[in-house]
Amino acid sequence: MISKKIVITAENGLHIRPAAVFVKEAKKFKSDITITLEKNTVNAKSLFKLQTLGLTKGTTVILSIHGNDEKQAMESISKIIKNIF
């Protein structure tokens, strides 16, 4: 399992459009991918669950990936986050 702290930097936070792009990218991988905010951990492949976190600008989350393609997933998803957020 690999994990990475991420700060949401987008002015409008993780609203529906960037969240949909994020989820679409996460679904390309077989690994389990989760986002944790404080004590809440959700499946990053679920747009609905991701939106329940209410990720706003300045929020720090932990992206965790576990599986055979975890390194590729982390690299790809990190690029998406950098470009969107």
Catalytic machinery residues: 15
- Classify residue 73 by its DSSP letter: H
Residue type, 44: A
How far is Cα 38 from Cα 33, in angstroms, rounded to an integer? 16
HSE at residue 23, side-chain half, CA atoms within 13 A, is: 17
